[in-house]
Amino acid sequence: MNTPYTKREDVTEKIWDLEISDPYRWLEDSNNQETKRWIDLQNKYTDSYLRDSYFEKLSKKLTKNFDSVIFSTPHFTNGYYFYTERQKKENQPVLYVRQGLDGTPIKLIDPNNLNSDNNVSLDYWTVSKSGKYLAYGLSTNGTEMATLFIKDVGKNENLKEEIDNCRYSSISWLSDDSGFFYTRGLVNGTVPKNEEGLHQKIYFHKLGDDIKNDELIFGQNRPKEDMIGMTISLDDQYLAIKVGQNWVENDIYLYNIKTKETKPLIIGISASFYPLFLKNKIIFYTNHRADNYRIISISLSELDNPGPIEKWLDLVREKEYPLTSCRFSSNKILLEYLKNVCSEVIICDHDGREIDKIPLPTYSSVNSISTNRYEEEFFYSVTSFTFPSVIYRYDPIEDNYKKFREIENSINPDDYNIEQKWSKSKDGSMIPFFVIYKKDLKKDGKTPTILYGYGGFKNSVEPDFLKIWIPWLEKGGIYASANIRGGGEFGKKWHEDGIRDKKQNSFDDFISVAEYLVHEGYTNESNIGILGGSNGGLLVSAVAVQKPDLFKAVCSKVPLTDMVRFHNFGIAIRWVNEYGDPRNHEELKDILKWSPYHNIKKELTYPSFFFTTAENDKRVDPLHARKMAAYLQSINTKTLIFTDIKSGHGSGKPVQKMIETQALILSFFFKELNLKIS
């Protein structure tokens, strides 16, 4: 099948003194029939190239790898243990509850039985203090636009209430189970175009009441970009409200539940603050005057006159490496640090004194910690590149850590090497990355290699089980994972050095890792492929345009590519602090230096591209992948694009769809990098 024809229009927009060409703007309209026909033709074209014997063999291998029982770290309260578990052959995880650790599992929510398409996902759930009630969100077709339901756990029946537009709602229950505070957007049917997921506010719902009577608590006349979270004090007196419009800074308000007064507590400080209440104090996990984060606290008795934040108690001081999360049991603080991109968990008492350190394997990460502010027990989950999650439980009676559950591993970790290396970026910064390959691999300078990266929004790329890349590793391929600036691997400055007018640092870092892999004999320019999703899709699209001779193949998943217009679509308006604001003249000029869509040059030869996107992606609009793919095809670059129908950005995707998309990606890399599958 030949490359489908794409209409090119003479569209030029003048913004200040800048004339910006946009020949594929018509592909922004997902509802246009011409766009829909284009999507259908492109999917058929991709199928004609990728759905062959490679795809079939890889699909079977992935299906076998996914054919195991997967479960989450338990959440527990008042003797009840809640957890999700996906049995073999199931498409979606199911929520269960046990009364006691050894109790009989009771199925509470099974998305697999809610419709025949298996496209309903359980997006989130929050249990009341007693364990009697459960608030949870369900969405369909990957939209993430959840409806909130309430279940009576003992009766295993839903209450009558259904609350729409509760996308990843933050929920805080009153301790007597009489109601809860929650966040939601505007009522369906009243949301302005391109503003789904915005206009977040806090409401209170009393169980049994009509949702129309829910009281608006916070958010009136505030910016539509607000991202709101909250936590409630143990005595139900205060609600601490965390609100901001970006990932760099936020304010804190206190809502007095009894007097219904809202007062600012932390306002206008350029730092992040994450609140949590203990018995007699409120603590904040923050990077205020601490690039690597610390914990500060103030007594609840001082909240009427808190004084300057500099006078508050420094409960846990900053270390030389970043604190990435903190959790509280009834008598301990669990502090997770990231030391050279690997987890370290230190345990303190509530006064901040270190009392223990959890033993962890080399090159591992803790991907979940589950605590309860009322109980001493806790759970944590550990993983690495070559083994899936292993869950441990702290037994307060025996005062030890015991293996609780372990996900079956389909490979032998002893068959693989994991190396951590460092490359020198353009400005001299040292950039860490991991390299994973079979021990019997002979480095000959031409091994097919996939390099993954992200580099944004303070997200750290930590060791994680390479389940979907096992077929690649087993056939002798190399997988590398880069820890570039823009992420959170080394604290606040590491993030800030990869955003806005310093965004080019992220691209230079990634390029330096690729060049290291070539120079040190792992691979060469004809055998290296690059991979990234979302912000990582932007990354690989940008570096491939900047350094086309360094790479052979590019897989850009659900990417951003048009950075002149990204802020006009959905929640992306919240990302201007990360990428720069195209509405600002000087910042737009910076953006145009690296925006992938605007830096394609028809006289250059680019690597092969494969874009994946999804019909219902409400985070990164699929227009980005469409426009970039069309432009590259117009200059005769081998370019494929797959649009997953009835799917979204990735969260809640059914297993069969995961297997299909990953088999296409693997098939692309096997073909383009000449890795033999037989």
Would you state the pLDDT for residue 441?
95
Backbone torsions φ then ψ of 626, nearest 5 degrees: -60, -50
Task: Tell me: pLDDT of 505 over 90.
Answer: yes
Question: Token digits for 365?
Answer: 């990460």
pLDDT at 238: 98
Better pLDDT: 94 or 187 = 94
Say if CB 284 and CB 323 are below 8 A apart: no
| % residues pLDDT > 70 (the chain) | 100
H/E stretch holding 519 reads: helix 504-519
Known active-site residue 534: yes
pLDDT in tens, 637-661: 999 999 999 999 998 899 999 999 9
Map residue 248 onto helix, strand or coil: coil
Q: Which of 370, 534, 541, 595 is catalytic?
A: 534
Higher pLDDT pick, 1 / 312:
312
196 has pLDDT over 90: no
The contacts found for 390-394 with CB under 8 angstroms, 24 or more apart, are 391/71, 391/73, 391/74
Residue 541: what are its φ and ψ, rounded to 5°? -65, -40
> What are the tens digits of pLDDT across the range 535-574?
999 999 999 999 999 999 999 999 999 999 999 999 999 9
Here the tokens at position 188 are: 């369906």
Residue 99's pLDDT band (cuts 50, 70, 90):
very high
Q: Is the pLDDT of residue 528 over 80?
A: yes
Taking the C-alpha atoms of residue 112 and residue 109, their distance in angstroms, rounded to an integer, is: 9
Give kind and range of the element (H or E) at residue 61: helix 53-66
Q: Which pLDDT value is given to residue 550?
A: 99
What SS3 state is found at 631?
Answer: helix
Q: 40-71: per-residue pLDDT in tens?
A: 999 999 999 999 999 999 999 999 999 999 99
Average pLDDT, the chain: 97
pLDDT higher than threshold 90 for residue 460: yes
pLDDT of residue 187: 84
Tokens of 161: 């209430």
191 against 596, higher pLDDT: 596
Q: Is the pLDDT of residue 190 over 90?
A: no
For tokens 């979907």, the residue is 468
pLDDT of residue 193: 86
Section 234-254 average pLDDT:
97
Instruction: Kindly state the tokens that stand for 20.
Output: 């910006």
678 pLDDT more than 80: no
Strand pairing report for 106-109 and 94-99: antiparallel
What per-residue confidence (pLDDT) applies to 492?
A: 97
Is 526 a residue whose pLDDT tops 90? yes
What is the H or E stretch that residue 517 is in? helix 504-519
**pTM exceeds cut of 0.85:** yes
116 confidence band (pLDDT: 50, 70, 90)? confident
Strands 449-452 and 528-533: parallel
pLDDT, tens digit (0-9, with 9 covering 90-100), for 586-598:
999 999 999 999 9
CATH number of 12-64+419-673: 3.40.50.1820
Q: How far apart are CA 252 and CA 266, in angstroms?
A: 5
- Asked whether the beta carbons of 163 and 182 are under 8 A apart, the reply is yes
The architecture CATH gives domain 71-225: 7 Propeller (2.130)
Active-site position among 343, 429, 649, 667 = 649
Q: For the beta carbon of residue 369, count every other beta carbon within 10 angstroms.
A: 20
Residue 216 Cα distances to 184, 185, 204, 255, 363, angstroms: 10, 12, 7, 12, 47
Q: Which amino acid is at 426?
A: K
Is the pLDDT higher at 261 or at 192? 261
Q: How far apart are the first and last CA of the chain?
A: 26
| 519-532: average pLDDT | 98
According to the model, what pLDDT value does residue 115 have? 86
Q: How confident is the model at residue 203 (pLDDT cuts 50, 70, 90)?
A: very high
- The beta strand positions in 31-176, using DSSP E, are 70-71, 75-77, 80-86, 94-99, 106-109, 120-127, 133-140, 147-152, 157-163, 171-173
**Catalytic residue flag (residue 526):** no
What is the number of residues in the chain? 678
> Residues of the chain with pLDDT > 90: what percent?
97
Taking CA 375 as the corner, what is the angle to CA 370 and CA 380, rounded to the nearest 5 degrees?
20
pLDDT at 188: 80
Domain ranges across the chain = 12-64+419-673, 71-225, 227-318, 327-409
State the average pLDDT over residues 348-376. Answer: 97
Given a cut of 90, is residue 37 above it in pLDDT?
yes
Q: What is the reported pLDDT for 38?
A: 99
Residue 468 pLDDT more than 80? yes
Mean pLDDT of 201-228: 98
Confidence of residue 118 (pLDDT cuts 50, 70, 90): confident
What confidence tier does 364 reach under pLDDT thresholds 50, 70, 90?
very high
Mean pLDDT in residue range 175-195: 93
pLDDT at residue 616, as a whole number: 96
d(CA 159, CA 669): 49
Do the beta carbons of residue 54 and residue 647 sit within 8 Å? no
> Would you state the structure tokens that stand for residue 439, as one six-digit string?
């021990």
